[in-house]
């Protein structure tokens, strides 16, 4: 079985790329399931139900998030009604939404998706992602063989540690957050696919999806600067994962980076 994981979508350009490219990618690579990180889809900061409706549940089955999930005012009231949208599971239990779910479709059966956030160089007030992962795995029925983890974290060391910690227990640990696709995609000894960061679905003519002059001004002057999202020159970064449907073990992982043509 094959599934597709789409890197952090940025703004309307990222949303458009997913709408226009993912159906063809799913057909070309025979992908029965698609996960996308969407925490930057609303003008580059946060999420809204309206933005999510543009591509979920078709062509994306599940949308994950990260530290910017609450950036848009009112999304905390929308997320309880969005059954295919996850927020980091190791956030406070008092926050709305859920951090994992078991999803299914006729092509692939049941797939568990877990959304976690790192603690190194990230916001305070976050629970231990390792303990949270263990707790969640105990709740997932053994009949669910495919388990995908979106680990939204800054430090590559923390991401690699999570992958080794979960090796043999999940199908894949996919890193998100840095918007830079890494060159370390591999299958670990226990059969877990791993990449430190899957990358970004956003403008290639930018600095992590934002206008270049604005980012340079912020770095060179230290002054408050509006970092406007760039919505042209879009590329789509993703990871294609093949796994054994009987064991849940990953067989291959292949990074993709595609010019959207707009």
Please give the C-alpha separations between residue 155 and each of 10, 109, 119, in angstroms, as whole numbers.
21, 33, 9
Residue 49: other Cβ atoms inside 10 A: 17
**What number of residues does the chain have?**
262
Task: Give per-residue pLDDT as tens, 69-127.
Answer: 999 999 999 999 999 999 999 999 999 999 999 999 888 999 999 999 999 999 866 89
Domain count, the chain: 1
Residue 30 lies in a domain: yes
pLDDT above 90 covers a percentage of the chain that reads 97
| Per annotation, catalytic residue among 68, 152, 177, 179 | 68
* 68 counts as catalytic: yes
* pLDDT attached to residue 26: 97
- Mean pLDDT of the region 151-158: 98
Residue 191 has pLDDT above 80, yes or no: yes
- Where is 232: in which H helix or E strand? none
* pLDDT attached to residue 148: 98
Ranges 33-42, 118-127, 136-145: which has the least confidence: 118-127
Residue ranges making up the domain that contains 34? 2-202+234-259
Residue with tokens 């403008």: 203
Residue 250 lies in a domain: yes
Task: Give per-residue pLDDT as tens, 204-256.
Answer: 999 999 999 999 999 999 999 999 999 999 999 999 999 999 999 999 999 99
Report pTM.
0.97
CATH of the domain at 177: 3.60.21.10
Residue 240 lies in a domain: yes
* CB-facing half-sphere around the CA of 57: CA atoms within 13 A: 9
* pLDDT attached to residue 123: 80
- Mean pLDDT of the region 25-46: 97
Residue 134 lies in a domain: yes
The token pair at 138 is 């105990």
């Amino acid at each position: 079985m094959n599934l597709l994981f789409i890197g952090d979508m940025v703004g309307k350009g990222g949303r458009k790329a997913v709408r226009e490219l993912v159906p063809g990618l799913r057909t070309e690579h025979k992908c029965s399931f698609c996960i996308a990180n969407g925490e930057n889809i609303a003008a580059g900061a946060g999420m809204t139900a309206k933005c999510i409706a543009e591509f979920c549940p078709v062509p994306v089955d599940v949308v994950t998030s990260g530290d910017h999930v609450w950036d848009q005012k009112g999304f905390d009231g929308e997320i309880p009604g969005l059954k295919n949208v996850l927020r980091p599971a190791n956030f406070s239990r008092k926050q709305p939404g859920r951090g994992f779910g078991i999803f299914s479709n006729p092509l692939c059966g049941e797939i568990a998706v877990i959304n976690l956030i790192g603690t190194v160089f990230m916001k305070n007030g976050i629970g231990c992602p390792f303990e949270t992962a263990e707790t969640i795995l105990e709740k997932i029925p053994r009949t669910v063989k495919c388990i995908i983890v979106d680990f939204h974290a800054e430090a590559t060391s923390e991401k690699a540690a999570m992958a080794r910690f979960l090796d043999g227990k999940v199908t894949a640990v996919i890193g998100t957050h840095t918007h830079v696709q890494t060159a370390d995609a591999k299958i670990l000894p226990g059969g877990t696919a791993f990449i430190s960061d899957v990358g970004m679905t956003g403008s290639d003519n930018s600095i992590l999806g934002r206008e270049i002059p604005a980012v340079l001004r912020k770095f060179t002057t230290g002054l408050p600067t509006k970092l406007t999202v760039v919505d042209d020159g879009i590329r789509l970064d993703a990871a294609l994962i093949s796994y054994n449907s009987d064991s849940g073990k990953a067989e291959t992982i292949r990074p993709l980076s595609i010019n959207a043509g707009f």
